[in-house]
Amino acid sequence: MKKKKLKFLIDENVPLEVGLEIKTYFPEGELVVYNEKLRGNSDQDIYNYAILNKFIIITFDLDFMDIIRYPIKNNFKIICRLKNLKISLIKKKIITALKEIDFRNVNNSLVIISNRKIKIRKFNLEIKNDNFKS
């Protein structure tokens, strides 16, 4: 089975060193760090770009946790909730989390990396209700 090429979009609020470290550990993947077209754009623009181009968003922006405003559409997002850590420890925690994630099983998920743990919230996007049938 062919290994899926991972595509990461590193939000501008994530230190550049983190993006470069991700590229070191996932050299076969595609990485967008500080894309000039996206710099300073709204969260909605960044989200739309990521969905259109099938990127995994890595961000510190907690607004992306809002699945109503930024729905999970056959992809997943990684939200970093790392507080009061040096960049070296932020890099270590994110790389450790990325190595532990089974990317085949995180579709329709929100991955949250915090100081103490990794949470994966899966969302079932299919609504089954007989009341909707005509």
Domain tally for the chain? 1
Q: Which of 106, 130, 128 is nearest to 118 (CA)?
A: 106
Q: Is residue 110 part of a domain?
A: yes
Each residue's pLDDT, cut to its tens digit, for the chain (134 residues) gives 445 678 888 888 888 888 888 888 887 777 776 666 778 888 898 888 888 888 888 888 888 888 888 888 766 777 788 888 888 998 998 888 888 888 777 777 888 888 888 888 877 655 454 554 54
Q: Is residue 12 part of a domain?
A: yes
Residues 6+ apart with CB under 8 A from 50: 9, 56, 57, 75
Q: Is residue 32 part of a domain?
A: yes
Domain that holds residue 58: 7-121
Q: Which pTM was predicted?
A: 0.80
pLDDT of residue 132: 46
The whole-angstrom separation of Cα 63 and Cα 43 is 8
Q: Is residue 134 part of a domain?
A: no
Q: Is residue 131 part of a domain?
A: no
Q: Is residue 43 part of a domain?
A: yes
Residue type, 10: I
